[in-house]
Amino acid sequence: MKFYTVDVKNISCDVPASNFSNDALNSLADMIIESGGIIRPLVLKTTGLETYTVVDGYFEYYAAVRAREKNPRQCEMVNAFVISPKNEDEIFKQVAAFRELASDNKPEIQTPIKTNNSESISKNNDFNLLEKQINDLRSELAQERQERQKLYETLKLIESQIPKQITPLEAFNTLSLLELTFRLRTAGFTDKKAVQVAESLEKERKKKNFESLKDILARVKITSGKKQIKGISSDKMVDIVDSWSRILFI
């Protein structure tokens, strides 16, 4: 027996869909669409070239058919175990054993399957059993959604705590006066000049944000005696960029 992904339209079933609740089939079909596939593979027997018939999983098969009708693109294929002819008898015995186990405590609807010896094995499936299976699947999906949401929230929290690096231009436009003064001192400015340049930076950016480092060189001025001179030279800007690129985080 091998595991395959089989096109739903290539599968047939001897058990009629009328044996199952229409509401139950619709409910499981919606869950198949929501979860991206059926979690319990069908058991199939080959009937021809790429054609199959259902041996076990009648309810799941009709739910998969319903899901394909609702969402053909997403639900075109279904997971299935395909019985090999050489071990067909053993597989039928195993299917019968599981059905007998499932029917021990519940009254069921008779649904036959055929063995190689044309013997009929009864399968009982009442609405209560189907409803329980659906409710179990709903619980699993709800739990999975909660776990995904918790993981997402944890990742967002971790992401918010990771310092983000900013560019020198962003620093000139956004850092506080105190922080600018400190950063300029780390780039080699004297205390006095760091204060003067930081104050000039703050004054100019209040008028308009700096658009480039060249814009900063042109606009930032400090007083030297009776003259206004450039607060930052081109060479000093290189030192600033080199220094800040290694430490600028917010």
- In terms of pTM, does the model score above 0.85? no
Supply the pLDDT for residue 243.
80
CA atoms of 195 and 197, how far apart (whole Å)? 6
DSSP characters over 201-214: HHHHHHHS---SHH
Supply the pLDDT for residue 244.
78
Q: Which of 178, 163, 180 is nearest to 216 (CA)?
A: 180
Architecture of domain 2-148: Alpha-Beta Complex (3.90)
The tens digit of pLDDT for each residue in 127-161 reads 566 667 677 777 777 787 788 888 888 877 776 66
pLDDT string in tens for the chain (250-residue length): 677 788 999 999 999 988 888 888 888 888 888 888 888 888 888 888 889 999 888 999 999 999 999 988 888 888 888 887 766 666 667 667 666 665 554 544 444 444 444 444 334 445 566 667 677 777 777 787 788 888 888 877 776 665 567 788 888 999 899 988 988 888 889 999 999 999 999 999 999 999 999 999 999 999 888 889 999 999 988 888 888 776 554 4
Supply the pLDDT for residue 92.
66
Supply the pLDDT for residue 197.
92
CA atoms of 246 and 236, how far apart (whole Å)? 16
Token code pair at residue 174: 């956004």
Start-end of H helices in 103-233: 127-161, 168-174, 177-186, 191-207, 213-219
Supply the pLDDT for residue 135.
73
Spell out the domain ranges in the chain. 2-148, 168-244
Supply the pLDDT for residue 107.
45
